[in-house]
Amino acid sequence: MEHWIYSLNLFGKTFTVNLDTIFTMWFAMLVLIIFAFFATRKLSIVPSKLQAASEALMNFFYGTLDTMMPSKNRQHVPFVASLFLFILFANLMGQLPLRIIHLKSGELASPTNDINVTASLAILVLIYYITAGLIAKKWKFFIHEFSFQGIIMFLVELLEMFTRPLSLAIRLFANIFAGEVLISICLGISAKFLPLPVMFFELIVAFIQATVFMMLTIAYVSSAASVEE
Amino acid sequence: MVDTATVTEFAKLGAGIAIGFGAVGAGLGIGVATKGLMDAVSRQPEVAGKAFGFFLLGAALAEACALYGFVIAAKLVGLF
């Protein structure tokens, strides 16, 4: 669970960088880019296996967006799909035998095992849904009608701008981190094969958490961008 | 004043309490979700697949509340 921390001196200030997280994150991005590259080569009417799989994946995104966002939902597909795929690959990477590779300090794990990654994803979602709301409603996104109820709603939405990214970040981080801790504890008890069922459970958790993150993102964007009558 | 060793011991106690009460809430939540799934499936067996997907989502959201407690517990015992 320890990170390989690298100190960086920039502009007279000291920044610390978790190098192991950066490497695993780049690896997840690389896998994703290679998948996207080969999935979009030689497209044809009669799809190959990879094309059929990726089309099924896109249909999953379209279906989810259609059920949760009534109108004008196609423009959000790239963001939502890349979020889902990145989180899925990142979560699944945690079950690779990465601990064979010995680092100077710390150990390699899933990149979502680091709260910095999940927090940056959550802040990305915050910026995205505020922008979507501003585009859809202009300045009425912030200012409702001037009444008691409107002011209360404004305060609640102001609070939500902090709590939504916080809960998004901590939910994803805590699930993956708890899985890692559980596997470590199972290894520490006695048997070498005791973590196996936990690791299978973690495979399911990876899918579920990616889906939950995507669905909450869609719900936030949909509530921000839908025009109320 | 209490010394540092006592504070560390009591932090472990606090970690146990945090994860315990968090697990109570998540257990109740997942139980209610399972009850809802059983009700739905026994009333309409053909929606079983679709309902199970929503059940997994709700269970994951309920479980996350226990994991908030877990993060606080890990922070208290200095796991990260």
Say how many C-beta atoms besides its own lie within 10 A of residue B10's C-beta. Answer: 12
Cα B70–Cα B76–Cα B79 angle in degrees, nearest 5? 75
Residue of chain A with shortest Cα separation from B72: A174
B67 chain-A contacts, CB cut-off 8 A: 170-171, 174-175, 178
Q: What is the mean pLDDT of chain B?
A: 87
B56 chain-A contacts, CB cut-off 8 A: 208
Question: Regarding predicted confidence, which is higher, A189 or B17?
Answer: B17
A211 chain-B contacts, CB cut-off 8 A: 57
Whether A208 and chain B come into contact, CB under 8 Å, resolves to: yes
Cβ contact (<8 Å) for A170 and B67?
yes
CA distances to A22, A115, A162, A187, B14 from A104, in Å: 15, 21, 36, 22, 33
Interface ipTM: 0.80
Dist. CA B28–CA B19, nearest whole Å? 14
A173 chain-B contacts, CB cut-off 8 A: 71
> A180: number of CA atoms within 13 Å, CB side?
28
Measure A208 CA to nearest chain B CA, in Å: 7
Per-residue pLDDT of chain A (229 residues; tens, 9 = 90+): 677 777 777 777 787 888 888 888 898 899 999 988 888 887 778 778 888 888 898 898 888 888 887 777 788 889 999 999 999 999 988 888 777 777 777 777 888 888 888 999 999 999 998 888 888 877 777 776 677 777 888 888 888 888 889 988 999 999 888 888 888 888 877 777 788 888 888 898 898 889 889 988 988 888 888 766 4
- Residue A55 is encoded by which pair of tokens? 């089309």
- Residue B58 is encoded by which pair of tokens? 């709700």
Give the contacts of A39 (CB within 8 A, at least 6 positions apart): A50, A51, A53, A54
Whether B68 and chain A come into contact, CB under 8 Å, resolves to: yes
- Chain centroid to Cα A37, Å, comes to 21
CATH architecture for the domain at B4-76:
Up-down Bundle (1.20)
Cβ contact (<8 Å) for A171 and B67?
yes
What residue ranges do the domains of chain B occupy? 4-76
Whether B70 and chain A come into contact, CB under 8 Å, resolves to: yes
Q: Which pairs count as long-range contacts for B28-31, CB under 8 Å and 24+ apart, including other chains?
A: B29/B58, B29/B59, B29/B62, B29/B63, B29/B65, B30/B59, B30/B62, B30/B63
Cβ contact (<8 Å) for B80 and A177?
yes
Dist. CA A16–CA A9, nearest whole Å? 9
Tell which residue, B12, B3, B59, has the closest CA to residue B32. Answer: B59
Check residue A126 and give its pLDDT. 92
Helix (H, G, I), strand (E, B) or coil at A8: strand
Please state the length of chain B: 80
B80 chain-A contacts, CB cut-off 8 A: 1, 177
Q: Identify the H or E element spanning A17.
A: strand A13-18
Dist. CA B63–CA A171, nearest whole Å? 9
Whether A181 and chain B come into contact, CB under 8 Å, resolves to: yes
Q: At what angle do helices B48-76 and B4-43 cross, to 10 degrees?
A: 180
Check residue A145 and give its pLDDT. 67
Measure A34 CA to nearest chain B CA, in Å: 29
Whether B40 and chain A come into contact, CB under 8 Å, resolves to: no
Cβ contact (<8 Å) for B68 and A174?
yes
